[in-house]
Every structure is written in structure tokens, then in C-alpha cells.
Structure 1
Amino acid sequence: MYIPGSSTDCPIARGTLPRLITADGALEAVKWLALFLMTGDHINKYLFNGTKEWLFDGGRIAMPLFVFVLAYNLARPGPMVRGAYHRTVWRLVVIGCFTMPVFVALGGLVAGWWPLNIMFTLAAICGMLMLLDRGTLTGQVCAAGVFLAAGALVEFLWSALALGLAIWLYCRHPSWCAVGLAAAALAGFWYINGNHWALVAVPIALVASGANPNIPRMPLGLLLLLPRAPGLAPADPDPDKRIGIPLLLTENCMQKSIHLLALSFAPPTTEQGKSQCK
């Protein structure tokens, strides 16, 4: 354990990097924050035509946080044995297929159906890590293929996949290579987003690793209430907004549901409620 003022007990001072240990309650807090930021970003985009810059900036933090939680959970011991990889990929792909028509109907994509929405981004990360976790040359080659091919098709491109890989690698074996890969991925987010707000996810993740709040897992029942939530629609919306608001709420509800399903598969471990990536 690191004792302030003692350089000999600091992992970095000894030439090693500290392991990333995050309590299950802290992971839940990160998920709630990411969902809140994502919802605000969607409201800004589809109800306010992107005019609320502070909502847009906050939304840039959501994706790295979701990737952090997913990669951290997949780095726990035994995901291959538990079938966590296959379950998560399947859920993400299925919900991604359901949400893509809504995603396209809402508009604002670069070209037609491209890029595929965030469900496919997370599915690509999970599939890539599953192949790497096999520990074979064939798996590594296939994982590289997933990275190159899927990175060209999904939201946030190769940067999101690289960030997921970096977090997973660091959780398994802390190294400066993983840190460098994460830095390169965050630089890619700067290029994609046009700002540096994705970097805020780094101190959030670090603070979460030192906290242990008593936050239970999100109940699915709360998510089902979102389409009925009052106050999101204007008092007298025009015909276009009558269509856009239900689509927005449907997309948000489905995305929140899959984030919950995909990111909450890992059971609590250790008596302190913390789970260490080993």
C-alpha cells in the first residue's frame, strides 16, 4: 500500500505501475454518470439542434467511461470460462441491430448508415478482447482483423477499440505500453470530437478506483419508465419533433438497457466489494 511521504512504498517509485482496483459500487457510479452524460448529449442533439455546447462537451466523456467499465469487467479473472464474452457480444449485436433503424431515422450520420452505432463499437471491443484472451497466434491475428475492419465501420472508429484494448491490457498486466496506447486513443478522440473533453474520463476513472460507494446495480424497471418521463417534450412541438422525440426516447431506453446488460455481468468479488484485475 502506498503511504504518502514514503517513496519506497510507491509502486511508480519502485519502477512498477500500480494495479487498477475499482469497487463494484464505484463502477455503478461511473455507469450512472455515463448514462446521464449520454442522455444530455442526445437531448442536445435532437431536441436543441446541438445548440447547448455544455451538453455536447459533457457527452464526449460518456464513451470513454462506458469503454472503461466494459474493459475493466472483461479483464476480471475467468470471463472466457464464464461465457461473459459470448453473452456480451450477442446482446450488443442484437440490440445494435434493433437500434440502427432508429439511429438512421434520427439522422445526423456521416453517410447513410455509417457509422454503426455505439452498440457495435462495444461489441467490436468485446469480440477483439475475446480473441486475444484465447492466447493463440490465430486469435491475435483475428483480433487484429477485427480491430482494422470494425474500426472503420463503428462510432469513434479505431480510437474506441484502442482505448478498450489499452484498459484491458493495463488491468491484466500494468505497463507503460498500455498507458501509451491509451494516450494515443485519447488523442484520437480529440480528433474525432474536436475537443479535449474525453480526457476528463481519466481523472473520473482514477477517482473511482479510490472510492467504494454503496451503490446497488441499476434496476431495469427504472429504465422502462424513461419513455414516459415528463418534461422532455416542448409544450407545442412541431410535426417533425413529434416524430423525433419518441425516436430519441426509444433509442435512449434501448441503449441504456443494453449498457446495463452488457456492463453488469461481472459478479461482486472480495469482502471489501472491490474487484482487482489480475
Structure 2
Amino acid sequence: MRLAADAECASRAVGQAAARETALDLLKWLALASMLLDHLRNVWPAQIWLYVPGRLAFPFFCLILAANLARSRPEPLRRSALVRYLGWLLAFALLSEWPYRLLVEQPISVNVLPTLALGLLLANAVRPCPPPERLLGLVALALAFALHARLMFGIGGVLLPAAFLLALRRPSWGWLPAGVTLMANYWTALYVEALLGRLFAQAVLLACFLAAPLGLALLRHPPGFPVPPLRRWVYAVYPLHFLLLHGLREWLG
């Protein structure tokens, strides 16, 4: 009887883990699609409406990062996963900067991956971890303040993965990443336009505010259909899509 109960519990845990992986894969696909729509504006500048669905991409990537950190792992596996995750982010941050600058003319920030790397270290520091990792989180926060003007999404972007991690641990805090997403997308002119009743600006702010609760709902209610998994090759999509869109823009003339 006890063996049957244990087997049933193990089976349920495996099922829940599989459902969570499916939800994460769906979030990854949606984040990639949103990112591509957003960056298509650099090929067709007149299609400014693409900026609205594009506001989902960064919050979804931050939620994926937080969900991976929230997994229960033995300490050695958790630490090696953190190092590996950080290594991939930093490596592709370097590889992506030149393609990013080819597509985005006169950028005011570096590409988004340094923001995610600092966000990873800070989010890791808000969960139970050894003192050296806590110190790394404080260093990441200090760097975020110092480099705020050069980081895509600024200090708010670095705080967002930690906000999502807290929301995953305490569902009643689901409002927190929504507020931080607005902070990460703060642009004075946009808020002024929204206050003046401009529908486009209001749609952008609404998308920013709804991105976090939408992502959390997708993660907590996995789809009832299979989703193709995304492996580490997806990191290469970031620099490659910049090159492809730059080539498309040059071809269109």
C-alpha cells in the first residue's frame, strides 16, 4: 500500500515537472516571437504598432530566468547550473553586440543580455544562497546603478528577474513584477503621451503592465498541447536574427 502511494506521488511529481517544462517552452516561443515582432520595426519603421506586442519579450525572458532559478536542486547542481547559465549569457552578450549595432542604428544601450546577466546574479542573491553569491548579487546591483544609462531597460530590467522570483515564491506578490516592468520601460515622453490620451502610448503601457500577470498565468496553467522544446541552440537565435533582419533591410533598400 505504501509503495503504491509513493509511486503515485512520484508519478504526479513527474507529471507536474513535465507540465512546467511545457509551460516554460511555450513562454520561450512567445518571448522569441515577441522579440522578432519588436525588432521588425528596424526593417519597417512605419510599423510602429509592433512596439506593443514587443513589450512582452523582456518580461517573459525574465520570468523564464526566474523559473529556472526557482527549481529545486541539490546545492552542487544548483551552483553549476548558475555558472553555466551566466556563462552562456555573457558569451552571447559579447557575440551579439556587433550584430545588434548593425541593426539598431545609434543605440543608446548595449544589447539586452548584460541586463539579464546582472538580473540573474541579483535574483540568485534573493533566494537562500552562500555569502559569496549574496555578495555577487550586491555587486550586480551596484553595477546596475552605475551602468543604468547604458543598460537596456536600466536598473528596472536588472530588478525584474528578482521580482518574478519573489512572485513565484509568494503568489500574492504577483503585482510586483508588473510594477517593475513599468519601471523598466519608463520613458517620460511615453507617459506624457498616455496622459494626453494617445491610444498608442496607452496600449504600450497596458502591454507592459499585463506582461507579468500574463506570463505568470501561462506558467501556472500549462497548455494542454505539446510544445516543441527549445534547447541551448536558442542562444544563437539572438545574434543571428539581428544579422538576418539587417540583411533583409539592406536587400529591401
Q: What's the TM-score once normalised by structure 1's chain length?
A: 0.63
1:48 aligns with 2:44: yes
Q: Which residue of 1 aligns with 2:220?
A: 209
- The 8 Å contact of residues 148 and 158 in structure 1, kept in 2 or not, is answered as no
Q: Which residue of 2 aligns with 1:77?
A: 72
1:164-206 Cα deviation digits (max 9, x unpaired):
10111232x3165x44542431230341493312223222431
- The 8 Å contact of residues 80 and 130 in structure 1, kept in 2 or not, is answered as no
The answer to which structure, 1 or 2, has the higher relative contact order (CA under 8 A, 6+ apart) is: 1
Distance 1:204 1:180, change over 3 A: closer
1:206-230 Cα deviation digits (max 9, x unpaired):
1442133321313649x78979989
- The 8 Å contact of residues 61 and 198 in structure 1, kept in 2 or not, is answered as yes
Letter in 2 for 1:200: L
1:167 aligns with 2:164: yes
User: Residues of 1 paired with 2:123 and 2:220: CA distance?
Assistant: 22
CA RMSD of aligned residues (A): 3.3
Q: Which residue of 2 aligns with 1:200?
A: 210
Ranges of 4+ aligned residues in structure 1 off by more than 6 Å: 223-230
Matches within 5 A, 1:87-166: 87-106=84-103, 107-110=105-108, 115-133=109-127, 135-136=129-130, 139-151=133-145, 152=148, 153-166=150-163
SS in structure 2 at match of 1:23: helix
- The 8 Å contact of residues 28 and 215 in structure 1, kept in 2 or not, is answered as yes
Q: Which residue of 2 aligns with 1:62?
A: 57
Letter in 2 for 1:120: P
- The 8 Å contact of residues 20 and 222 in structure 2, kept in 1 or not, is answered as yes
User: Residues of 2 paired with 1:84 and 1:186: CA distance?
Assistant: 26
Unaligned runs of 5+ in 1: 1-20, 239-278
Unaligned runs of 5+ in 2: 1-17, 191-203
1:188 aligns with one of 171, 183, 198: 183
Looking at secondary structure, tell me which structure has more helix per residue: 2
* Number of equivalent positions: 208
User: Residues of 2 paired with 1:116 and 1:236: CA distance?
Assistant: 25
Q: Which residue of 2 aligns with 1:6?
A: none
SS in structure 2 at match of 1:191: coil
